[in-house]
């Protein structure tokens, strides 16, 4: 640090005056502050007028500093960002300066912040937007404007909103440019976007440097260009870009706030400059509308006329922040003076060893109240022309917001706003939290007129025109060459995958120069994972072939839309299932036959129970009743039963059973027809389920993802898996079988197996396809070409061209089989358990109701029966015919009436008025007793 002071003071022909005036109990009459500006820049000339106006307003308001006046000393850096400009800016330190407003440039701010740290003088910059200036390295730096961190957040939000993925950044290679672009890269990464090319330019840029930079940019694929540069060279860059054809259709230019500042400041630009910036998007720091702001705007023309000798220019956002910075400092000074009451300086003890000499190092002084004043600045909470002014714990202004504007014609048009709270919105951030504003419906921007006078959103990229061909890797297959194969006698490749790629390429609105590069040793099929890894290392720009899309592979590369479905299937030896004398039993499984037969018997028994007391058809000797049960139940199969059902419960059971029989008949007939008319195949392997439960060896293609799937997902031990290399190996292993060192079945993708089975009728696909996957073309992560190729594949599918290519290369022969059908066609019990459950429930409920009815009748019939004979009596009662029971009940009631009258006669309770009835009653009683 001491060496730095030596270098500074070599060029500095003055010294810092140290004062220690002692404590003063009264407020000072004057407080010295400094300002570092570039008077001839768009920001500097506006800020100079705004700062002078703010100092006048503060000094004329006795309620701010209570009689203390601000005295400001301004130094002009003359747009110099080098060492000489910094030395020139130090001249204001000849006075007892308590704070510095500025500098305007981030490069100067980095260096002067070291001086501010040493002298403990707060540095308030309204224009240095480098995000790294807020680091702990510079505690005395206070940014009173918006950081580029938020501006780059807004740019990244715009890029993400339009679904672009790659951008190019053009910037000046200094602290301001590098750190701003670094912040942009971080914010783009949060949106899954990136800076595909950085184009730095020297701080001493000239037109040749600009031309060289733009030539390199034009050779890149991305057409989204972020221009983060100073206004002094910004128009030169876009003018040369227009001359090079880079401001036409397809390009997108997003300029940081240097362009909006220039447009807001200058009353008019030359026509050539306006033509160069047509369609550009730029950002402007958003300052809410307010009455003080409108009043200041109305004063602006008078202020510029009086302070600039008639030079007129307009007010920009940096001018508002410069004005507010003076007021912010004045309020902090007022608090400071109320706390301490004086302003003192002391010598820097670390420089005492440099006493003597013309440079007078020992005269440099430290502001004793610097830390307190800094704390007061960071705790100010005020409303200024730019809006609320208060700081976060990180030293940034609260509520950063930008306006997104589109340059159109001779002016600009606002297309929306950005803020931390609302993102991209059509309403200003200060109105966003209003109840009538729907937050979800305002994440959008108005329409844009892009360069080239187009309104449709540009795609954002083109294929590189730098002469580089797309390096497309293709597998050098030795089997299934219908998919990919080398054309003999040429450098071309043919096959189904190649034709699909070429057809999709023709659908693109731009040309793709490419060349196929084979991958593999020519002796075995290459491992797909190794082929895809070549993309991640940059050796291939794409991979075309029979590449299955899996979860693990999507972590390495991006795939297009699948152009063919190809899940895993099981292939095993099959043989034709010939018809036999017992073919009629095949429609139902053994379990289905058993349950159906038992159901016939159960229904017959239930109907017999419900009908035997009321229906003579179900009565008789035991042998006859058994024959009746069997005959009735099985005759329902043909709806030819002759017994009449008279009970309500019996009819209920019968109608439900007839419905079940109808469904069973229809299903049996359909299945038997299929079995007798369609060729049936049989195999000891029934599908993937039977393979997982057995211990037989399983074949799979060497290098395929099928190995990991079988072990990780289906928990099949690796010892059972046998890698095979070619269709001939498949055939040999299947013919040998497990007993001769072969395999019981092979697990591979359907697309391969259909070709394998087209000439091998002794094998077939058994069971169902147990994965749903597809093949796609592979590209590097976030490649825009993958998106365009996916769209092209979908278009081929919609027009039917994709199916035509499939039929051309992969047409099945008559030998191909969908699989062994015997298990598929046989009807399982699981398909009918609902019907059997319904019928069984009806039988059970009917029996319960019947039992309840019997118990009630028996209770009325045998009220005097003893407990010991009740069960035997109940069984006898159930066997009786119901009409006999009813007759006995009627006779019992008549006997009861006679017995009652006998009792009345014997007790002398017959009335004298009934002489005729008394004789009849005695006779009846006598007869009853007899």
Sorting pLDDT into bands at 50, 70 and 90, what band is 888?
Answer: low
- Which segment, 89-103, 162-176, 504-518, 596-610, is predicted with the most confidence on average? 162-176
Taking the CA atoms of 135, 137, 141 and 142 in sequence, report the sign of the dihedral they define: positive
Structure confidence at residue 631 (pLDDT): 79
Structure confidence at residue 159 (pLDDT): 95
Sorting pLDDT into bands at 50, 70 and 90, what band is 759?
Answer: confident
Q: pTM score > 0.75 for this model?
A: no
Across the range 448-471, mean pLDDT stands at 85
Across the range 478-504, mean pLDDT stands at 90
Mean pLDDT of the chain: 82
How far apart CA 591 and CA 202 sit, in angstroms, is: 87
Structure confidence at residue 132 (pLDDT): 93
Tens digit of pLDDT for each residue in 234-255?
999 999 999 999 999 999 999 9
Kindly report whether the peptide bond that precedes residue 103 is cis, defined as omega within 30 degrees of 0: yes
Sorting pLDDT into bands at 50, 70 and 90, what band is 436?
Answer: very low
Across the range 470-475, mean pLDDT stands at 94
CA dihedral (145, 148, 151, 156) in degrees, to 10, reads -160
Q: CA of 701: how far to CAs of 244, 465, 547, 704, 845, in Å?
A: 55, 41, 14, 6, 59
C-alpha 553 chain-centroid distance: 18
Tokens read off for 868: 């010991």
The closest alpha carbon to 108, from 83, 140, 138, belongs to: 83
Residue 210 pLDDT > 90: yes
CB 344 within 8 A of CB 21: yes
Residue 350 pLDDT > 70: no
Residue 390 pLDDT > 80: yes
Tens digit of pLDDT for each residue in 801-827?
999 999 999 876 546 444 444 444 567
Sorting pLDDT into bands at 50, 70 and 90, what band is 576?
Answer: low
In 385-484, which ranges are E strands?
387-389, 401-408, 411-419, 423-425, 470-475
Residue 386 pLDDT > 50: yes
Sorting pLDDT into bands at 50, 70 and 90, what band is 173?
Answer: very high
Residue 318 pLDDT > 90: yes
What is the side-by-side order of every strand in the sheet holding 568-573?
721-724, 698-701, 745-749, 568-573, 763-766
Tens digit of pLDDT for each residue in 27-44?
888 999 989 888 888 999
């Amino acid at each position: 640090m001491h060496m730095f002071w030596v270098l500074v003071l070599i060029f500095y022909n003055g010294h810092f005056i140290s004062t220690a005036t002692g404590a003063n109990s009264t407020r000072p009459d004057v407080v010295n502050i400094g300002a570092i500006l570039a008077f001839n820049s768009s920001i500097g000339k506006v800020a100079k007028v705004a700062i002078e106006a703010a100092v006048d307003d503060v000094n004329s308001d006795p309620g701010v500093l209570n009689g203390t006046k601000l005295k400001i000393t301004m130094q002009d850096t003359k747009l110099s960002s080098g060492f000489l400009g910094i030395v020139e800016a130090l001249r204001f330190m000849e006075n007892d300066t308590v704070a510095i407003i500025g500098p305007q440039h981030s490069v100067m701010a980095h260096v002067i912040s070291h001086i501010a740290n040493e002298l403990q003088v707060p540095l308030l910059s309204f224009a240095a937007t480098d995000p790294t200036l807020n680091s702990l390295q510079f505690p005395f730096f206070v940014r009173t404007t918006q950081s580029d961190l938020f501006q780059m957040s807004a740019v990244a939000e715009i890029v993400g909103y339009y679904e672009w993925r790659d951008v190019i950044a053009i910037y000046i290679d200094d602290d301001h440019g590098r750190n701003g672009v670094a912040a942009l890269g971080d914010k783009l990464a949060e949106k899954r976007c990136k800076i595909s090319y950085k184009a730095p330019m020297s701080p001493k840029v000239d037109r040749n440097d600009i031309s060289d930079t733009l030539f390199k940019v034009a050779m890149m694929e991305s057409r989204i260009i972020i221009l983060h540069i100073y206004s002094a060279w910004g128009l030169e860059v876009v003018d040369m870009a227009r001359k090079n054809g880079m401001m036409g259709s397809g390009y997108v230019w997003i300029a940081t706030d240097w362009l909006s500042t220039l447009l807001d400041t200058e009353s008019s630009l030359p026509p050539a400059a306006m033509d160069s910036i047509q369609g550009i998007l730029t950002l402007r720091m958003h300052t809410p509308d307010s009455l003080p702001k409108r009043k200041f705007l109305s004063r602006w023309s008078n202020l510029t006329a009086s302070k600039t000798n008639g030079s007129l220019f307009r007010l920009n956002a940096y001018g508002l922040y410069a004005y507010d910075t003076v007021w912010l400092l004045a309020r902090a000074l007022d608090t400071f003076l109320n706390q301490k009451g004086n302003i003192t300086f002391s010598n820097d003890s670390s420089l005492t060893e440099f006493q003597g000499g013309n440079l007078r190092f020992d005269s440099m002084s430290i502001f004793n109240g610097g830390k307190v004043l800094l704390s007061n600045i960071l705790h100010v909470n005020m409303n200024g022309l730019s809006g609320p002014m208060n700081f976060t714990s990180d030293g940034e202004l609260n509520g950063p917001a930008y306006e997104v504007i589109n340059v159109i014609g001779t002016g600009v048009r606002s297309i929306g706003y950005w803020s931390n709270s609302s993102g991209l919105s059509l309403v200003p951030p200060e109105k966003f939290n209003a109840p009538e504003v729907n937050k979800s419906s305002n994440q959008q921007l108005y329409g844009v007129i892009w360069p080239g006078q187009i309104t449709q959103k540009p795609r954002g990229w083109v294929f590189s025109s730098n002469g580089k061909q797309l390096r497309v890797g293709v597998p050098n297959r030795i089997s299934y060459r219908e998919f990919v194969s080398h054309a003999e006698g040429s450098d071309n490749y043919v096959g189904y995958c190649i034709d699909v790629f070429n057809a999709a390429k023709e659908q693109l609105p731009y040309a793709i120069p490419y060349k196929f590069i084979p991958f593999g040793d020519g002796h075995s099929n290459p491992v797909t994972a190794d082929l895809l890894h070549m993309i991640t290392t940059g050796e291939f720009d794409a991979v075309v072939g029979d590449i299955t899309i899996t979860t693990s592979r999507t972590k390495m590369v991006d795939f297009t839309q699948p152009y063919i479905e190809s899940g895993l299937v099981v292939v095993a030896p099959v043989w034709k299932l010939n018809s036999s004398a017992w073919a009629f039993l095949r429609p139902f499984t053994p379990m289905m036959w058993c349950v159906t037969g038992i159901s016939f018997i159960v229904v017959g028994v239930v109907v017999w129970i419900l009908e035997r007391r009321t229906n003579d058809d179900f009565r008789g000797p035991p042998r006859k009743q058994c024959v009746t049960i069997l005959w009735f139940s099985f005759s329902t199969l043909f709806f030819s039963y002759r017994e009449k059902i008279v009970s309500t419960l019996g009819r209920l059971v019968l109608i439900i059973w007839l419905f079940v029989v109808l469904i069973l008949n229809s299903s049996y007939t359909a299945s038997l027809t299929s079995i007798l008319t369609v060729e049936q195949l049989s195999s000891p392997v029934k599908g993937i389920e039977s393979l997982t439960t057995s211990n037989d060896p399983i074949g799979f293609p060497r290098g395929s993802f099928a190995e990991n799937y079988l072990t990780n997902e289906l928990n099949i031990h690796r010892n059972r898996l046998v890698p095979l290399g070619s269709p001939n190996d498949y055939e040999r292993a299947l013919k040998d079988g497990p007993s001769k060192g072969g395999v019981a079945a092979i697990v591979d993708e359907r697309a391969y197996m259909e070709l394998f089975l087209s000439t091998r009728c002794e094998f077939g696909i058994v069971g169902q396809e147990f994965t749903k996957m597809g093949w796609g073309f592979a590209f590097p992560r976030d490649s825009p070409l993958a998106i365009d190729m996916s769209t092209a594949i979908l278009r081929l599918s919609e027009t039917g061209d994709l199916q035509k290519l499939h039929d051309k290369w992969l047409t099945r022969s008559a030998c191909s089989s969908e699989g062994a059908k015997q298990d598929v066609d046989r009807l399982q019990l699981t398909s009918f358990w609902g019907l059997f459950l319904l019928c069984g429930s009806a039988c059970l409920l009917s029996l319960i109701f019947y039992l309840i009815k019997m118990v009630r009748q028996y209770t009325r019939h045998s009220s005097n029966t003893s407990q010991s004979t009740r069960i035997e009596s109940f069984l006898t009662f159930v066997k009786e015919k119901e009409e006999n029971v009813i007759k006995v009940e009627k006779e019992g009631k008549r006997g009861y009436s006679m017995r009652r009258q006998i009792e009345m006669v014997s007790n002398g309770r017959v009335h004298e008025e009934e002489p005729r009835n008394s004789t009849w009653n005695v006779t009846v009683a006598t007869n009853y007793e007899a």
